[in-house]
């Protein structure tokens, strides 16, 4: 589809998109990206406390191979050390991993030095994805300029795909970027702690599908109650019916909706549990109920 194509009227109106069919087969744990790469549908963003690597070790043990690393590189050497131990033991190779790193939009001019340093600290030769954490606070022209700078990271071989993050209410700005950029965004990462993001997701989902961009969402699984209107009690029916934790139910809900889910956690047991969500399906009625729960009180 042409980059200059206009946004469909249904997207402009923000109509809700139907939930895509989903399956729990092991071979479907990756989703295709618009540049031909494949990305695991479950990702992990480690939260380190006191310099401990327990949550990262738990994530690797559980089966996570998709990691999203914060724009602050203070833990890169720790992460690199853990990965190297896994490489040396034969339990892991670089090709098994999908590594994504966030880049602060305010630091974009340092990208040609920051990314090589991060690659060195992480002990890898390339990144699978670099995500610009623009938050869409700047003008569209500023966003385009930053994106052009970031495209150099792909051309020089530092990374293979580009993504962008921010709130879900940015369809117009995202369309302006897609019309002019050389390397299209492969991923849009929805960030934020506001409950209102759930009301704004359908319009973004319809747009990203139209543009062939994968949508991902950060879920702070240690703080599920803070992300659900009314708290955890709202999910008691589904927790009981599927014999799963609230975090597992919510992660599976988003995954079944067709989103890539990035689980943020610093707790080893929570991390382990969140990977165990691809072996069950939420019924259509329960998917609708959870959607209503997320939209409640908005």
Element (H, E) at 133: strand 129-133
Highest mean pLDDT among 48-57, 111-120, 186-195: 111-120
Domain range annotation of the chain = 21-295
Question: Domain 21-295's class?
Answer: alpha beta
If you average pLDDT over residues 67-79, what whole number do you get? 86
The pTM assigned to this predicted structure is 0.84
SS3 for 176-237 is: HHHHHCCCCCCEEEECCCCCCHHHHHHHHHHHHHHHCCEEEEEEEHHHHHHHCCCCHHHHHH
Highest mean pLDDT among 28-32, 76-80, 169-173: 76-80
Q: What is the pLDDT of residues 237-260, one digit of tens each?
A: 888 888 998 889 989 999 999 999
Please check the confidence at residue 22 and state whether its pLDDT lies above 50.
Answer: no
Q: What is the pLDDT of residues 49-58, one digit of tens each?
A: 766 788 899 9
Q: Name the pLDDT band for 136 (thresholds 50, 70, 90).
A: low
Per-residue tokens: 199 = 């009301």
If you average pLDDT over residues 91-114, what whole number do you get? 86
Arithmetic mean of pLDDT over the chain: 81
């Amino acid at each position: 589809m042409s980059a200059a194509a206009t946004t469909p009227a249904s997207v402009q109106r923000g109509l809700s998109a139907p939930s895509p069919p989903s399956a729990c087969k092991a071979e479907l744990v990756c989703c295709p990206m618009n540049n031909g790469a494949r990305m695991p549908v479950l990702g992990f963003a480690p939260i380190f406390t006191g310099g401990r690597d327990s949550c990262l070790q738990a994530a690797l043990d559980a089966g996570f191979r998709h990691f999203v690393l914060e724009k602050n590189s203070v833990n890169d050497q720790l992460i690199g050390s853990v990965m190297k131990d896994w490489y040396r033991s034969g339990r892991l190779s670089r090709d098994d991993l999908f590594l994504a790193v966030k880049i602060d939009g305010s630091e974009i001019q340092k990208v040609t030095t920051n990314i090589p340093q991060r690659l060195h600290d992480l002990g890898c030769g390339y990144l699978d994805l670099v995500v610009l954490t623009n938050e869409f606070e700047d003008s569209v022209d500023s966003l385009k300029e930053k994106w052009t700078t970031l495209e150099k990271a792909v051309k020089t071989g530092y990374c293979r795909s580009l993504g962008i993050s921010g709130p879900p209410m940015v369809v117009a700005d995202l369309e302006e970027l897609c019309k002019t950029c050389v390397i299209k965004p492969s991923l849009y990462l929805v960030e934020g702690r506001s409950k209102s993001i759930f009301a704004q997701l359908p319009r973004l989902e319809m747009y990203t599908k139209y543009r062939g961009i994968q949508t991902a969402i950060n879920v702070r699984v240690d703080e599920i109650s803070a992300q659900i209107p009314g708290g955890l009690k709202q999910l008691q029916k589904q927790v009981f019916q599927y014999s799963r934790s609230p975090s597992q139910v919510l992660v599976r809900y988003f995954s079944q909706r067709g989103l890539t889910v990035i689980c943020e956690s610093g707790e080893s047991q929570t991390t382990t549990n969140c990977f165990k969500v691809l072996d069950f399906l939420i019924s259509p009625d329960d998917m609708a109920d959870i959607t209503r729960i997320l939209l409640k009180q908005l």
